[in-house]
Amino acid sequence: MWRRVAWLLALASLLVSCGQPGSQDGPRLVATTTMVADMVRQIAGHRLRVQGLLTPGADPHIYRPVPRDAEAIAQAPLVFSHGLHLEPWLPDLVRQSGGKGRQVVVAEGLANRRSPTDASLPDPHIWFDVPRWRRTIPRVVQALSAHDPAGRQVFEANARLYDQQLGLLDAWIRRELAQVPRARRRLVTSHDAFGYFGAAYGFEVVPIQGVSTESEAGTQDLVRVVQRVKQAQVPMVFVETSVNARLVEQVARETGARVGGPLYSDACGAFDTSGGSYVGMLRDNVAVIVEGLQ
């Protein structure tokens, strides 16, 4: 059974990747992050074109829009964003572009954890809890169907397939992570991107920075993480693809822990890599975590 699951997940990772456009003519829909763009493409299929604003590896917390972003939003009939304060630059971009397209926030209405360091801020990284991320699919289907009513059946069929793939992904993640002993389930990372992952899959998460990379880590943050790594004898600390590795490397030097990763955190990987889709980025992360902590 699990060989079949692995095969299906591998097939899913070869589907429309985070940066590939659709094939149809007409105005392009816009999606902000690579994860949102990937979902919209999987559901829209070849019926609609989807343009992602952020490129693989880009950090949405501190992204600085460029003129082509404003042009894309000005022409887009639909703009899909993540929400939960992940794209603080988006309202100004929409206003300055003069775009009149419908705004669709995929994470709107979902229960979310709060930042441990600032309770006024939500933690936006819900995509690392696969069952929670699956709950964003109906909102995408609804928006696409309202925009293109003739394509409703296509969108609903694509959504069912994608939801099944994510169900298989969740089951595979749980099976793979079962190889990591409970005593070693501590994930030390650059910033607090894996709180949902930890809650969903049974890991203590020890970040250096807060939920947004806009925040600066202070001396107390480093001391806290170093003490925890030493106390728990954490064997590996992980750098992230979209965050500077300097702080994690400093923790490693002071504790003797090895440096692992990188883990995909706020963006998918390059288009032609195994991490170039939402399914692929989670599969790659889990493989790295299991190898490093097993």
Reported as a pLDDT band with limits 50, 70 and 90, residue 216 is confident
Over the range 31-42, which residues count as b (16 or more CB within 10 Å of their CB) and which as e?
bbbbbbbbbbbb
Summarize pLDDT for 221-230 with one digit per residue, the tens: 899 999 999 9
Asked if 242 and 90 touch (Cβ cutoff 8 Å), the reply is no
Mean pLDDT of 183-199: 95
Please check the confidence at residue 19 and state whether its pLDDT lies above 90: no
Select the more confidently predicted residue: 219 or 204: 204
Please check the confidence at residue 26 and state whether its pLDDT lies above 70: no
User: Of all residues in the chain, what percent carry a pLDDT higher than 70?
Assistant: 91
Summarize pLDDT for 115-154 with one digit per residue, the tens: 776 777 899 999 999 999 999 999 999 999 999 999 999 9
Q: According to the model, what pLDDT value does residue 2 have? A: 43
Select the more confidently predicted residue: 282 or 12: 282
CB pairs under 8 A, 24+ apart, for 220-227? 222/247, 222/250, 222/251, 225/188, 225/251, 226/251, 226/254, 226/255
What's the whole-number average pLDDT of the chain? 90
Name the pTM for this structure: 0.90
State how beta strands 29-31 and 204-209 pair: unpaired
Reported as a pLDDT band with limits 50, 70 and 90, residue 24 is low
Q: According to the model, what pLDDT value does residue 270 have? A: 93
Q: In this structure, what is the dihedral angle of CA atoms 147, 151, 153, 155, given to the nearest 10 degrees? A: -70
Please check the confidence at residue 14 and state whether its pLDDT lies above 60: no
Q: Which amino acid is at 126?
A: I
Crossing angle of the two packed helices 34-44 and 152-177, in degrees rounded to 10: 130
